[in-house]
Amino acid sequence: MVDVGPKILALWLVPPGVIVVVAVLGFIVQIRWLLLGSLVTALSIMALLILSLPLTGQQLMEGVESRYAPLDLGTLSADTTVGAIVILGGGRYTDAAEYGGGDNVNRVTLECLRYGAYLHRLTGLPVLVSGGAPYGEKIPEAELMQTALKRDFQTEARWVENKSANTFENAEFSLPILSGAGVKRIYLVTQAAHMARAVWSFEDVGIDVVPAPMGFSTLGRGERASLGYYPSARGLWLSSTALHERLGLMWYRHKYGSGQAPSVTVPGTAK
């Protein structure tokens, strides 16, 4: 089972949680010091406005996603040291009514599976899917991924890691499976925003990684122009996700590592 304490804390440390906390603090301070409390409240509203702008969110996401470039697909066949494709889960679609009411993969996981299947067709490498049941769900996420990969993309997952509750455990529990198969180097498929934390985790347990990020954040033409200067739920989501991933990497370095992420050499990626 996953430790929900850090997850709950994270919700209050990134928007909109942290903004709510600051705003409440401002109202409390107003009781004693009207000017200071009003200033704190005004600053929290200003922060909410700025972080809700699509252009702000995109800038914050670019700072996270630009750490690893997309794979240069033209060089895949030249790298013969990679032995497998590892696809990380991105969440489940609980009680999917249109599929009979059972759990299914969510949109993020489906996009990861699609890109993993695409890499499989290009390289012929075997696939490992990773994801457990952190909240006591009946079916681990990796098993849902295995089913969707075969049903929707006609691709078989050779290995299923179904015990992990977070990204570090994805790496930790994938290690013996890959080592047992003689695989030392992998293509790692996950969202671009999540890749830094994923690479850190896999390198930390001793697996050599070639990042294969997908799902890069982009703005539509309207958001790049006038709409990008107006607050929206999407803008706030982009800002929150970017800050969440920065906070998550800091927490992983503190909890699991020495505070220094391993250096990663990534041949075969676009310059």
Per-residue pLDDT tens digits for 129-148: 999 999 999 999 999 999 99
pLDDT digits (tens, 9 = 90+) for 51-92: 999 999 999 999 999 999 999 998 887 789 999 999 999 999
Degrees, nearest 5: CA angle 144-149-151: 95
Compute the average pLDDT of residues 210-218: 96
pLDDT of residue 258: 56
Note whether residue 167 is domain-resident: yes
Neighbours of 147 (CB within 10 A): 15
pLDDT of residue 2: 64
pLDDT of residue 55: 93
Q: Give the chain's mean pLDDT.
A: 89
Note whether residue 251 is domain-resident: no
If asked whether residues 165 and 129 sit together in one domain, one would say yes
If asked whether residues 81 and 179 sit together in one domain, one would say yes
Query: Closest by alpha carbon to 263, among 190, 195, 209?
Result: 209
If asked whether residues 86 and 118 sit together in one domain, one would say yes
Query: Binning pLDDT at 50, 70 and 90, where does residue 231 land?
Result: confident
pLDDT of residue 260: 45
Percent of the chain residues past pLDDT 90, beyond the cut: 68
Letter for the amino acid at 265?
A: T
Cis peptide before 54 (omega within 30 of 0): no
Domains identified in the chain, total number: 2
pLDDT digits (tens, 9 = 90+) for 82-130: 999 999 999 999 999 999 999 999 999 999 999 999 999 999 999 999 9
If asked whether residues 101 and 206 sit together in one domain, one would say yes
Query: Binning pLDDT at 50, 70 and 90, where does residue 1 land?
Result: low
pLDDT digits (tens, 9 = 90+) for 14-27: 777 777 777 787 87
For residue 259, what are the CA distances in angstroms to 39, 200, 203, 253? 36, 11, 13, 5
Query: Binning pLDDT at 50, 70 and 90, where does residue 35 land?
Result: confident
- CATH number, position 160: 3.40.50.620
pLDDT digits (tens, 9 = 90+) for 169-178: 999 999 999 9
Query: Of 180, 202, 217, which closes a domain?
Result: 217
Query: Binning pLDDT at 50, 70 and 90, where does residue 259 land?
Result: very low
Q: Which domain holds residue 29?
A: 4-51
pLDDT of residue 61: 96
Cβ proximity of 144 and 92 under 8 Å: yes
The residue ranking higher by pLDDT, 39 or 63, is 63
Note whether residue 254 is domain-resident: no
The residue ranking higher by pLDDT, 103 or 12, is 103
